[in-house]
Structures are given as structure tokens and as C-alpha cells.
Amino acid sequence: MSRRPLTLLVLALGCLFGLSATANASQSALLFSTTSKDVRISGSGKAMRVSLPANAALSWFTDRPARQAGSSTAAFLVNGWQANGFNVDAPNAALVTTAKGVTMQTIVTLRNPRLSNGRVSFRYSVLGKGAMLGMETTGHPRAGRYNGELFVDDATLAPCSAGDNYVTSSFYQCVTSGVHDYRYLNNARDGWQTTYACGTGLQVHHYAVGNVTYNLKACPQYTAVGSSQRITFDYGGSFPSVSYSQNSFLGVPSGVTIVMAFDAPCGLTANPASGLLTCIVPAGSSVSIDRPSAGNTRINACGINGASSLTYDSTAAGVLNHSAAMGACDNYTAIADVPNDIATVVIHASVDTKLLLNAG
Amino acid sequence: MRPIIRISTLVTVIALGALIGTSAAAAAPSTLFSITATNAAVTGTKGNMRVSIPASSSMSWFTDRPGRTAGTATASALVAAWPIQHFDTDPPNAALVTTRKGKTMQTIVVLSDPRTKGRRVSFRYRVLSDETMLEMETTGRPTLGTYARASLFVDDAPMVFCPATFNASTPIGTTPATGYKCLMTANTTYQVSGHSPWLNVQGCHPASSTGGGYVHWVDSLWDNFDYYSAYDYNDVGPLPVCKSDFSAFAQIADEYAATNCPDCDPRYYSESLTFSSTDALTLLSTYRVN
């Protein structure tokens, strides 16, 4: 049996995982720093685990040149594990442990996350002898309790902030962690902002219609879970507060990816039957477009955060990774046509990109 | 048949996209630093805060996934490498963790203006935002004064420090600019192995680092009985100051295993180049000469 189809399938699945871990361009790569007075090392040999309280304070911040930061709890490291692609490509981390005035620093790879009994834990392997710094002692930390710190690279999706109002531009993406009240307030644009989510299950309380449970699709196939009208500073405090509380996420399973945007994320494929379709391609992800109806489908694009460029593959034009400039939104630039029923164009977005597909 | 054609086309194109994405990500892993200091001092005034730590504070570095490379250096090496990591034009974000009297605070900051004074290094810092500060057992940002312990977790540098041993059998390119590049710290021994068939090693020293020293290298051979031979050795220096286009590299050593050991059976012998430098920091490039 030829192994090629299997190879292609594996690569395609790899791409799907990559897509599911896509971030806002403005969020770039994220790093996590968590500190606890109750870090526990257990196990022996190659079966070492490190655990800390699930509610230990966690800071996240972006790689330069972005300057974004926020806070959550250590539980997010487990709840956001899959959304950040750590299940496919495990994160490296610096593990700093202090006991009886002695500090050690070890570089490890974290795997096998668990969340139980109010604690998160990870199996870890030491990256190499050269990675271990014996500061006041030599050797790796033994089983025991420590004051500890974990510094973890290199995620793509930030945790949603509980109880906060999001003041977004036109597009915001984050991962939920636990049951919280997620509300948002948008003051950036006219119109209604829609919240989309992917993952496993989601219970949303709509103030107008009550609780609704959504059976979400696997990421990055998003489902609209509610809309909310914009609040402007012009309205000030006189605007009814219920309007921006229309989406209160009551029962949020861990790891659900939430996108707040004016237009739906494109998902893996976008095929307008006829007329116009507008959707968003998050930075770092791709969308495949073919032509289910008669005539051409023209692909127009604009950069959500300003003029930029994208690349595309076109089976009709016979090009791969072809670069095309695009204007700022909503000044669309014609990118490519999908002219026949077996042609496909795959758009690769390096920045948050909005597509306008004109079929007919 | 039409849907099958479409699905296969889609899978092929997505797979190609995945390949492209993978190769791009693998080409440029970034390096992160974790510094742990046995004491720290926070000084300055609002808008001009500085944190200082011993220059000899231990620093671990490691690459972003999927890279799995790690090593050690000191905080002074981070200061010396500041411009070559482009931290002078695009300063790094960092988590600053301070501990005093058993109480720990964690703050996200931007580090800039590194300085060395005596046996200490210091950085100016500004807090990214109030939201980023986690009040853990105390409230407020770190106040002026000394701390019993401090950690700095620093993103996101393009240049790795040299691992204690590294394999150059598949260098990235065939010129100093495209070769495997890493930073050597002073008086540390590094071993390059696995090269084939011909390896050039060139170096320069960053302008921010003390220069004028030399690189000592030894061409070494081990057999399977741990018999050691030093074929050749030399001191090269002083090295030129690094330029951004890497045109300032000086030749340090070259190696052609088959010439040096024509009778060697690779099943029983291994050959490597060993380096150490007296300069505080040396940028090394190893590349293959075809």
C-alpha cells in the first residue's frame, strides 16, 4: 500500500491543528510566567511531574515588538493546551525551584497536562545536561515542595479575561478557561458585533432569550453564538447597560476559542453559492475557496489592521505561494479569480485579513 | 468523481501550505532567557525605574518549540549581546519576579538601556500596564529597595548562545552570513562535531563586548578506546567587530576530516573542533564549503 495518501492526510491534519492555534496578528506569540509558593515535584528518573495550584497567578505577554500582556491562572496552561497546539508540539519551559534558600533553574519540555483536585500538573523531561544550572546546588530538583516559577514558551492564543469588557477593534480572539462571565463592549465601529466560538459545547445566556446551549464545531469552524450592539462614547452612560450584556457566557467549557468580530471567520473553506460573502481569515491561517456555482468567484481582500499583503496558491493560475498586495479595510483589492469547477484558490493570511467573495 | 478530485486537490494544497508553514517556522526559532539572581535592587523614580542584579547571575536560555536547544550563560552575556539581538532597536518584554521577606510579586515589563557597573548589570524597565501586574501576596509594583531573589524571563532573541556541543553536519548555508551562528561566552569550551566534508569557522566580536582577545581552537580526534589526539591547534585574534552584514568575520579554523585522517574509520573514530575565547562575547559562524 502506498504511503502517500497517509502522508498527505497527516500533513493536512497537521495544518488543521496549526489553524486551530491561530492568533490575532496583534497577539503574535505569547509567553506565560506563573509563580507559586506550592510547587511540587514528584516521580523519579524519566517520569518526573511538576504540579502547582490551578489558581496560581499566571501572567502572559507577547513577544516583541507587540506590547500586550494580561493575567489568568495556571489552569489556562491545561485548558488552553490543545488550542495552542501544545498537544502536537510540546512547549519548552524554564522551571525555577527554591527550597531552604537554595535556587535551581532547569530547562524542560512539558507534556501530559492534568487538572485535578485543584492542581495542574505536567510530566517534564530535562532538555539536556547543559540546560541545567546548578546555582547553589548541583543536580535536578528532587521530589518535594518548593517555591517555584514556570516560564513557558510559545503560545498563540491568549486567555479570555473573566468579567472584563472587551474594547475591541474589529477582531478579537481568545481562549476560555473555566466558567466565567465574559461580556464585551465595543466602541470601535458602527454596527452589531457578533461573537463566534469553536470547541466543544458552550452555554450562553442571552438577556433577550435566556440560556442557549450551542453544540460547537471543532476549531477552526466557527459558529455564531450571539450579537451585541455597539456602545459609543456618544451614548455615554445613558445607553442601557443590558445592551452590552447581551452575551454573558455562563457555562464555558475550558478551551473554547471565542472570536469577536463583525464578520464570521472563514473557517477552512469559504464557498459562496452566489452573491457576496464576507469573512475573516485570522493571521497565520488559510482558507480554501472553490466555485460551487456557475461563473467566476472573484476574491477580494483587505488588511484589517491596515494595508498589507497575502499569499495564495491557485490551481487555475498554476501558482504556489504567490504574493499579492492588499489595501486597508474596507478598500478591497482584487486578488484572484476561481474560474471553473475544479479550480481552487487557497489564501494564506500572515495578518488578519478580510475577504469579500463575489460569486456569479 | 468530481468531489473526490476536489477533496484531493484541497488536501494537496493544504498539505503544501503546511509544509511551507513548517519550514518557515523551523528556519527561525527564537531564543528565550531565564535569569535567576540571588539578590536584586530596584532604584529610580517613576518613569525611570531600574532593576539591578549581579552580573554573574545564572542565565538559562532555550529555543522556542519546536526547537529543543538549551544552554547556560550569565546575565552579563545578555547585556553584551544586547545590540546583536536587536534589543537596542526593539527592546524585549520580560516577566520580572521579585521576592522579599517571603513575598513574591510578578510584573510584566519592557527592558531597555542595559548597563554594567562593577559586578552588577542593570536594566531600565517600564511596566506594560497595570492590568499586567499580578498582586500575589503583596500589593503594588515592586518598591524601591533590595530583594532577596529575582527572576527575569526575557523574550525573544534571534541569536542563540553556543551549546556546549553542537553538530555542524548540516550547516544552514555555505557562507558566513548563511551558516550556523551562535554566541560564545568568555573562557568556555565549545565542541563542534559531525562536519562533512569541509567546515569553515569564522568569528567576530560584538561592538558592545570587550574585544582584543583571541580564540583558541584544537582539532581533536577520539578513537573508540577514548584515545585522544590533538591534530592541530592555534590562537586566532584579535577578531574584527561584527557588522550587520557579517562581512567582518575572520577565519578561525577550517577542517577537512578525510585529509587529516585519511585512514580513519568513522565507525571507530570521531573528530571535532574545540573552541574557547578570551573575548567576553564572540559571534561564531560555521558553514560548509563545497
For the segment B35-55, the average pLDDT, to the nearest whole number, is 93
CB contact under 8 A, A315 and B66: no
**Residue A76 lies in domain:** 23-155
Give the 3-state secondary structure percentages of chain A, helix then strand then coil, rounded to 5: 10, 50, 40
Q: How far is A1 from chain B (nearest CA, A)?
A: 18
The mean pLDDT value for A56-64 works out to 84
Determine contact: A61 vs chain B, CB below 8 A.
Answer: yes
CB atoms under 10 Å from CB of A220, counted, come to 24
A102 interfacial to chain B (CB closer than 8 Å): no
Task: Mark yes or no for CB contact B18/A12 under 8 Å.
Answer: yes
B229 contact A CB<8A:
no
Residue type, B203: G
- B12 falls within a domain: no
- Give the count of beta carbons closer than 10 Å to the beta carbon of residue A233: 6
Distance from CA of B184 to the nearest CA of A (A): 14
Q: Are residues B152 and B178 in the same domain?
A: no
Using a CB–CB cutoff of 8 Å, tell me whether B72 touches chain A: yes
Q: Which residues from chain A sit within 8 angstroms of residue B54, using beta carbons? A: none
Tell me: do B181 and B131 sit in the same domain. no
Percent of residues, chain A, with pLDDT higher than 90:
25
Chain B hits for A286, CB-CB cut-off 8 Å, are: 14, 17
Question: Does residue A9 belong to the interface with chain B, where contact is any CB pair within 8 Å?
Answer: yes
Instruction: Evaluate whether residue B22 is within a structural domain.
Output: no
State whether residue B26 sits within 8 Å of chain A by CB.
no
State whether B126 and B171 are in the same domain: no
A164, closest residue in chain B (CA to CA):
B131
CA distance B4 to chain A (A): 10
Percent over 70 (pLDDT), chain A: 72
Least confident of A174-183, A239-248, A279-288, B46-55: A239-248
Instruction: Judge: A9–B71 Cβ closer than 8 Å, yes or no.
Output: no
Do B48 and B148 share a domain, yes or no?
yes
> What average pLDDT does range B221-242 have in this prediction?
76
pLDDT score recorded for residue A213: 80
The mean pLDDT of B117-132, rounded to a whole number, is: 82
> A-chain residues within 8 Å CB-CB of B22?
14
Same domain, B118 and B182: no
Tell me which residue has cell 519540555: A109
B15, B136, B155 member nearest A35 (Cβ)? B136
Q: What is the pLDDT of residue A214?
A: 82
Question: Is the confidence at residue B77, as pLDDT, over 60?
Answer: yes
> B251 and B229, same structural domain?
yes
- Lowest-pLDDT choice from A228-237, B10-19, B41-50, B62-71: B10-19
For A:64-83, CB contacts with B below 8 A are 64-65, 67-71
Instruction: Work out whether strand A210-214 and strand A319-328 pair parallel, antiparallel, or are unpaired.
Output: unpaired
For the record, the C-alpha cell of A237 comes out as 452612560
With bands split at pLDDT 50, 70 and 90, how would you rate the model's confidence at A6?
Answer: very low
Interface predicted TM-score (ipTM) over 0.90: no
> Which tens digit of pLDDT belongs to each residue from B150-160?
999 998 888 88
List CB contacts (< 8 A) between A320 and chain B.
Answer: 16
Chain A residues with CB inside 8 Å of B69's CB? 127
Report the pLDDT value the prediction gives residue B140, as an integer from 0 to 100: 47
For residue B10, is it within any domain?
A: no
Q: What is the side-by-side strand order in the sheet with A202-206?
A: A210-214, A202-206, A247-251
A237: closest CA of chain B, how far (Å): 23
Domain boundary pick from B104, B132, B157: B157
pLDDT in the model for residue B181:
86
Does B30 lie at the interface with A, CB-CB under 8 angstroms? yes
Of B25-29, B207-211, B230-234, the least confident:
B25-29
Q: What values do phi and psi take at B76, rounded to 5?
A: -65, -30
A130–B108 C-beta distance less than 8 A:
no
Last residue of a domain, one of A201, A232, A261: A261
Instruction: Indicate whether B239 belongs to any domain.
Output: yes
State pLDDT tens for residues B258-281: 445 556 565 556 677 888 999 889
- Per-residue pLDDT at A76 exceeds 90: no
**Same domain membership, residue B182 and residue B210:** yes
DSSP count for chain A of H helices, then E strands: 2, 25
The pLDDT of residue A327 is above 80? yes
Question: What pLDDT score does A253 carry?
Answer: 67
A124-153: per-residue pLDDT in tens? 998 865 433 333 334 578 899 999 989 998
Per-residue pLDDT averaged across B200-214, rounded?
86
Mean pLDDT value across residues A300-312:
93
Chain A residues touching B112 at Cβ < 8 A: none
Please list, in sequence order, all residues whose beta carbon lies within 8 angstroms of the beta carbon of residue B259, skipping any fewer than 6 positions away. none
What's CA A41's distance to the chain center, in Å? 30
A48: CB partners within 8 A, 6+ apart? A41, A42, A123, A124, A125, A140
Task: Please tell me the distance in Å from B29's CA to the nearest CA on chain A.
Answer: 11
Q: Which range (A12-21, A174-183, A344-353, B238-247) has the least confidence?
A: A12-21
Q: Is a pLDDT exceeding 70 seen at residue A44?
A: yes
Give the mutation candidate from A19, A55, A59, A321 for the B interface (greatest B CB count, under 10 A). A59
The CATH number of the domain holding residue A220 is 2.60.120
Strand pairing category for A92-99 and A297-303: unpaired
Residues B109, B129: Cα–Cα separation, whole Å: 8
> How many domains does one find in chain A?
3
User: pLDDT grade, residue A324 (50/70/90)?
Assistant: very high
**B65 is in which domain, residue-wise?**
31-157
Q: Which of A128, A155, A182 is the last residue of a domain?
A: A155
Angle among Cα A26, A201, B11 to the nearest 5 degrees reads 65
In a domain, A17, yes or no: no
**Predicted confidence band at B220 (pLDDT cuts at 50, 70, 90)?**
confident
Counting Cα atoms < 13 Å in the Cβ hemisphere of B239 gives 37
pLDDT bin (cut points 50, 70, 90) of residue A251 is low
Say yes or no: B164 contacts chain A, CB-CB below 8 A: yes
Q: Is A48 in the same domain as A147?
A: yes
Flag whether A9 is in a domain: no
